[in-house]
């Protein structure tokens, strides 16, 4: 995995013409070495067993989790192709907020009205958001995953940059077995070991799952009521506030507000003073003007624009992808029967490929705008870096990565004076 370094021009040029990376930066030889039942995979497993024994876990519980783990190829594929980061955002959102998802969400809320009302009252998380997460995570319970969670995590642990996460989750699975919260056979889920109706990872299960139906078991696997209450509790702990929305669609009213598209929270008066208005045309309420918000342009300045509040970050705690959080928010709005977006998605936008995103990230970092890990995924840090570059170059600063933005960054890198070392290096 490439480190978070400030690359010189020569390093950026190499990245431009380098072959595409294998998942998470490992070479094919590395991946082959950790193939099914390979000696390297078995060595890791046996070493981790000893680590768990030293931590005081029961030998039987460790064995139940680790004895039968196998290398899971689906994990390799998903690490490289997560839809939240590779699909055009508008397509990702539309795929998950279509008519079926909305109608099914309304149906399950109506048929379980007492449950949804009860979890909202107890935990202070909107029932439509809980329903939307259920829909996003498992299609309202239609498919909760069939990948063996210990095997998925063991495979993930072979990636150095994923090992800490994976081993922590495996230890949580051992604790789940030790406390008899679930059987070994129940531990199935997604490629990332998210399990049950609302896809809790093991540590989240231990920390936030609840027993809604009072049967003595926090059963997120086969008891939807426990799973939904656990999700509501998750949102409560994440800081959801019932006195404010997740966000509002707005109209910029000009380019002046773009200086605030920096992923920081700002007083609402910063936005309104530059002409930002609600997209619905309604007036700002006194309560809304007391909030702090963040300007969010998920498709650049030509698409829907939002001011999002702290509740949006509570959704992101469930899944750090902004595409995921926006999908949950908009699906929840639709399930609740509220009006849809005023501004249509700009479907003609060209998405950068992962290699192009890496070029953008490397270029921004080389120019002194740290874009975070060079992972080919557009995240908050990349947007912040691009926004800062655009401001410095007096360009429309929406922080949105387009082919034109990439060209502007590449041109700025090329125009940089060569370093002394590069200038003195003799021609080969």
The reported pLDDT for the residue numbered 369 is 97
**Widest CA span of the chain, in angstroms?**
77
Burial 154-174 (b: 16+ CB within 10 A, else e): bbbbbbeebeebbbebbbbbb
Mean pLDDT confidence for 278-301: 94
Q: Contact 260/250 with Cβ under 8 angstroms?
A: no
Q: Which fold has domain 31-79+145-238?
A: Helicase, Ruva Protein; domain 3 (1.10.8)
Which residue blocks in 149-249 are alpha helix, DSSP H?
Answer: 149-156, 163-178, 202-208, 224-238
- Please state, as a whole number, how many other Cβ atoms lie within 10 Å of the Cβ of residue 294: 21
Q: Is the dihedral angle over the CA atoms 45, 47, 48, 54 positive or is it negative?
A: positive
Tell me the per-residue pLDDT of 228-281, one tens digit each, with 9 for 90 and over. 999 999 999 999 999 999 999 999 988 899 999 988 999 999 999 999 999 999
Tell me the per-residue pLDDT of 94-112, one tens digit each, with 9 for 90 and over. 999 999 999 999 999 999 9
pLDDT range class, residue 81, cuts 50, 70, 90: low
Strand 305-308 and strand 247-251: the pairing is antiparallel
Prediction pTM value = 0.86
Phi/psi at 182 (5° precision):
-155, 165
Name, in order, each residue with C-beta under 8 angstroms of 332's C-beta and a sequence gap of 6 or more. Answer: 126, 128, 129, 131, 132, 246
The reported pLDDT for the residue numbered 80 is 65
Residue 375: which of 111, 22, 66 has the closest Cα? Answer: 22
Using DSSP's 3-state secondary structure scheme, residue 126 falls into coil
**Where in 227-288 does DSSP place strands (E)?**
247-251, 266-267, 277-278
Residue 61: which of 150, 144, 155 has the closest Cα? Answer: 150
More confidently predicted of 149 and 83: 149
Tell me the per-residue pLDDT of 350-368, one tens digit each, with 9 for 90 and over. 889 889 999 999 999 999 9
What are the extents of the domains in the chain? 31-79+145-238, 88-138
For tokens 């490439």, the residue is 2
pLDDT range class, residue 307, cuts 50, 70, 90: very high
The reported pLDDT for the residue numbered 161 is 83
> How many angstroms separate the Cα of 94 from the Cα of each of 242, 330, 347, 419?
26, 10, 11, 47
């Amino acid at each position: 995995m490439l480190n978070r370094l400030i690359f010189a021009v020569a390093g950026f040029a190499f990245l431009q013409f380098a072959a595409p990376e294998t998942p998470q930066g490992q070479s094919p030889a590395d991946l082959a070495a950790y193939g099914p039942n390979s000696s390297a995979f078995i060595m890791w497993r046996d070493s981790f067993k000893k680590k768990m024994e030293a931590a005081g876990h029961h030998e039987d519980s460790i064995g139940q989790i680790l004895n039968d783990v196998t290398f899971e190829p689906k994990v390799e594929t998903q690490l490289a192709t997560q839809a939240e980061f590779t699909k055009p955002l508008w397509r990702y959102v539309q795929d998950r907020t279509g008519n079926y998802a909305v109608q099914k969400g309304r149906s399950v809320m109506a048929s379980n009205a007492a449950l949804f009302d009860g979890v909202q009252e107890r935990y202070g998380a909107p029932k439509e958001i809980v329903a939307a997460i259920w829909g996003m995570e498992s299609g309202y319970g239609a498919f909760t995953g069939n990948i063996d969670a210990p095997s998925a995590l063991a495979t993930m642990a072979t990636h150095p940059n994923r090992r800490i996460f994976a081993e922590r989750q495996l230890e949580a699975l051992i604790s789940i077995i030790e406390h008899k919260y679930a059987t070994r056979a129940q531990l199935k889920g997604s490629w990332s070991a998210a399990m049950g109706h609302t896809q809790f990872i093991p540590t989240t299960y231990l920390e936030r799952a609840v027993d809604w139906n009072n049967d003595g078991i926090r059963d997120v696997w086969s008891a939807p009521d426990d799973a939904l209450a656990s999700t509501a509790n998750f949102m409560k702990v994440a800081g959801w506030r019932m006195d404010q929305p997740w966000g509002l669609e707005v109209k910029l009213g000009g380019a002046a507000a773009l200086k605030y598209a920096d992923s920081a929270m700002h007083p609402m008066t910063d936005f309104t003073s530059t002409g930002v208005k609600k997209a619905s045309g309604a007036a700002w309420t006194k309560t809304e003007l007391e909030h702090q918000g963040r300007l969010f342009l998920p498709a650049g300045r030509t698409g829907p624009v939002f001011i999002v509040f702290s509740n949006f970050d509570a959704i992101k705690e469930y899944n750090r992808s902004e595409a995921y959080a926006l999908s949950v928010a908009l699906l929840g709005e639709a399930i609740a029967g509220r009006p849809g977006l005023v501004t249509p998605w700009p479907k003609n936008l060209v998405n950068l490929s992962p290699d192009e995103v890496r070029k953008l990230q490397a270029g921004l970092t080389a120019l002194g705008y740290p874009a975070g890990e060079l992972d080919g995924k557009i995240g908050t840090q990349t947007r912040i870096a691009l926004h800062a570059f655009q401001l410095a170059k007096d360009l429309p600063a929406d922080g949105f990565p387009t082919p034109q933005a990439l060209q502007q960054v590449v041109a700025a890198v090329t125009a940089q004076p060569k370093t002394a070392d590069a200038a003195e290096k003799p021609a080969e």
